[in-house]
Amino acid sequence: MLDLLRRFVVSFMSTISNCKGTDVVEINDTTTSALDYAIPELWATKVRLDAVKSAFWGSRFEGKQGANMPIIINTDFSKAAGDVLHFQTMKRLKLSGVTGETVLTGAEETLTLGQFDLSVDWIRHAVGFNKRGTKRANFDAVMVAGQELSDWLARYIDDSMFQQLISTESPSTLYSGGKTAEANLTSSDVFNTTSLDKLKLALIRKGALPFQVKSVGGTTLKFYGIVIDPIDAYNLRADDAWYSAQRDANLRGLDNPIFSGALGIYNGMIVYEFGNVSGEMGTWLRPEAKLSAAIGIADTTITCTIDSNTSIDALKFFPSSGTIRIDNEDMTYTSESGYYFTVSARGANNTTAASHASGALVTLRNVSTQLAFGSEIAVRGWGMYPKATKEVQDYGFRYGVGIEAIFGQKGIADAASAMANYVIMKSYASNPSSI
């Protein structure tokens, strides 16, 4: 027996000695120190920079105070959650100056700065894991978590900004097709080049400053921006005037603002397209949902979910009350809970109540929103850039990494509480396909 045991040990040791170059496996190495190893020094910085770069309302629209960009950015790392950041907004010189030998002293115009305040607060999120692993596995998991957190932060930036500009605030509103109310929009009132002309005129009449000024061939060109839904972009491409402008009338070379990621340019309006992101339906520009169950002609609870998890807000882009359209029926609702509407009237607007199949598309009467803007439409502030957080539980079996930051953003209102530098338009935008 002893001889047999001796031969087994010799054979085992010989096998190990012959395994040259084999990686050492670290069992159950998910500890606080292992996570420290797995989180690179600039991990949280990369999460923020990637997020701001990929967000629609990201770095391409940011600028410091006085830069005449759509979003004024400010950082004050002495601020805590709940504190207020102060922004200086620019205003045009309005006095007439002097002529000839008239004395200028005493007739100077004071540089008029408006102050706009923004409260900042904590934002936090994390990714959790339920596994044991090596330091290498922890590092890989942390890097993947960083990509997901960067995507989340980009969506948070965009969601917060669109919600501020479209839902929270009350900007001046126009309607396509010469209509004067949202309820009057029909299939003939789609977004087109006439809509673009009307929006530019509205911005000029409001005194909104352009956010891009280019000098080409001795001529100064001024540009405003507009962001539209993909269905509006689909309708716009069908406009002959749009097609001709993109083919013949745009700037040539790198001076063309289209190289900033725009869809195109028309009459000094740079058109940007913003669509929904993976895992969501619709946007703040055009809310959408799908029925999660069939409904009959008398049902007043309309359920819509992204999946079976009702904690996910499938209706976050819809207003708290309004009128939805399913197939050819309009329904007035008095509230939405995140995954179902409480309907007060079936067959609204002279439509007929009907049964609807599971998966049927739900919209706000096929109405979309377009947002046209100049410079200084919003402020964005950081009281603390994102920093890494970590947690280990259950003897290293559960662990997670995340970010926390102090952040805020808000649309800029003038002294009369009006949104001075942007306007919105409502248009008819039905889904042109079965998807």
What residue ranges define each of the domains in the chain, with the CATH number in brackets? 32-90+113-170+378-411 (3.30.2400), 198-277+369-376+419-428 (no CATH), 288-363 (2.40.30)
Res 58: pLDDT: 92
Which pLDDT value is given to residue 399? 83
CA nearest neighbour of 413 among 157, 4, 116, 210: 116
Q: Can you give the pLDDT at residue 313?
A: 83
Q: 166-172 — which CB contacts under 8 Å span 24+ positions?
A: 166/284, 166/285, 166/369, 166/371, 166/424, 167/284, 167/319, 168/411, 169/411, 169/413, 169/419, 170/419, 171/411, 171/419, 171/422, 171/423, 171/424, 172/202, 172/206, 172/418, 172/419, 172/423, 172/424
**pLDDT, position 70:** 92
Whether pTM exceeds 0.75 = yes
The pLDDT of residue 356 = 95
Question: Could you tell me the mean pLDDT of each successive run of 10 residues in the chain, 435 residues long?
Answer: 55 50 48 77 92 92 87 87 78 65 68 67 89 73 91 94 93 94 93 96 91 66 91 93 77 55 86 83 91 92 75 85 94 90 93 94 95 93 92 80 93 80 95 80
pLDDT score for 111 = 42
- H or E stretch covering 95: none
